[in-house]
């Protein structure tokens, strides 16, 4: 079974621009979560989607948003990019038969903001 | 607030030796999962092992095992017969409400 895929793998943007990252979960997985990884802040939870609904949200500004489609694929969007948004963005999917489920990660998207 | 603490920023072990990585957590939840993930230089986050809090038996996966002490809120990872491919950053993570909270990681170097 194919793993979690993320596109693109690398992105370079300038301050003020916006960016959209995509995540395709493992087939059959209905929950998709997003995390930001930086050297200074470590791994931080952004949000989680299940059945096209945002079920949980981390402590990030409104510039960070996401959505999930009927096929469980998810996108996250960052508007008005800042230098501090440079990070590895990781997507994870889980079966989510209950509220706890093992999350499997994709390879990440490395975003650089200049 | 739920927190995860990994007090060992870096560790080194000789190939074929055994090493233990420490992790403590704080929560008032009664139903939760604990995980160890590894992140090699390729940056792909890989699941190593999982422990359900309601299970008293420690989880094992081949060379990897955990020592789960629920009362002490401790969750250490033991790697037996260390291999060069085990070189990676290891993250301890706590899950509640389908959200993972990660520790700061332990960089493990396996020396030949």
Lowest mean pLDDT among A79-88, A89-98, B40-49: A89-98
In this structure, the number of other CB atoms found within 10 A of the CB of residue B68 comes to 20
Residue A99, pLDDT > 70, answer no
Per CB-CB distance under 8 Å, the chain A contacts of B100 are 33, 35, 43, 45, 92, 103
Residue A93's contacts (CB-CB under 8 Å, 6 or more residues apart) are A4, A23, A25, A26, A29, A31, A32, A33, A72, A103, A104, A106
Tokens of B13: 């072990």
Which residue in the block uniquely carries the two structure tokens 């470590």?
A: A42
Which residue in the block uniquely carries the two structure tokens 């299970």?
A: B55
Instruction: Please report the pLDDT score of residue B41 as a whole number.
Output: 86
Instruction: Please report the pLDDT score of residue A27 as a whole number.
Output: 94
**Is residue B40 within 8 Å of B46, Cβ to Cβ?**
yes
- Residue among A96, A97, A113 at smallest CA distance from A33: A96
- Which comes out higher in pLDDT, residue A95 or B92? B92
**Is residue A8 within 8 Å of A110, Cβ to Cβ?**
no
Residue A97, pLDDT > 60, answer no
Report the Cα B27 to chain-centroid distance in Å: 17
Residue A97's contacts (CB-CB under 8 Å, 6 or more residues apart) are none
Using CA coordinates, name the residue in chain B closest to A57: B99
pLDDT tens digits for range A6-64: 999 999 999 999 999 999 999 999 999 999 999 999 999 999 999 899 988 999 999 99
What residues are paired with A8 via a beta bridge?
A: none
Digits of tens for pLDDT over chain B (112 positions)? 789 999 999 999 999 999 999 999 999 888 889 999 999 988 889 999 999 998 889 999 999 999 999 999 999 999 999 999 999 999 999 987 778 999 999 999 999 9
Per CB-CB distance under 8 Å, the chain A contacts of B90 are none
From chain A residues 6-65, the ones with a CB under 8 A of any chain B CB are 31, 33, 35, 42-43, 45, 48, 50, 55-56, 58
């Amino acid at each position: 079974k194919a793993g979690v895929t993320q596109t693109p793998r690398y992105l370079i943007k300038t301050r003020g621009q916006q960016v959209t990252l995509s995540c395709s979960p493992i087939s059959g997985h209905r929950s998709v979560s997003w995390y930001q990884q930086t050297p200074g802040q470590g791994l931080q939870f952004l949000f989680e989607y299940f059945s096209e609904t945002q079920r949980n949200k981390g402590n990030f500004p409104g510039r960070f948003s996401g959505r999930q489609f009927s096929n469980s694929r998810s996108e996250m969007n960052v508007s008005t990019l800042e230098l501090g948004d440079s990070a590895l963005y990781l997507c994870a999917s889980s079966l989510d038969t209950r509220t706890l489920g093992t999350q499997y990660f994709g390879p990440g998207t490395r975003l650089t903001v200049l | 607030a739920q927190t995860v603490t990994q007090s060992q920023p870096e560790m080194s072990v000789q190939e074929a030796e055994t090493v233990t990585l420490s992790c403590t957590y704080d929560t008032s939840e009664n139903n939760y999962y604990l995980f160890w993930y590894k992140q090699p230089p390729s940056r792909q986050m890989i699941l190593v092992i999982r422990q359900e809090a309601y299970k008293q038996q420690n989880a094992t996966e081949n060379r990897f095992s955990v020592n789960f002490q629920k009362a002490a809120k401790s969750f250490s990872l033991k790697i037996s017969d260390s291999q060069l491919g085990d070189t990676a950053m290891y993250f301890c993570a706590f899950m509640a409400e389908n959200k993972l909270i990660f520790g700061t990681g332990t960089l493990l170097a396996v020396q030949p």
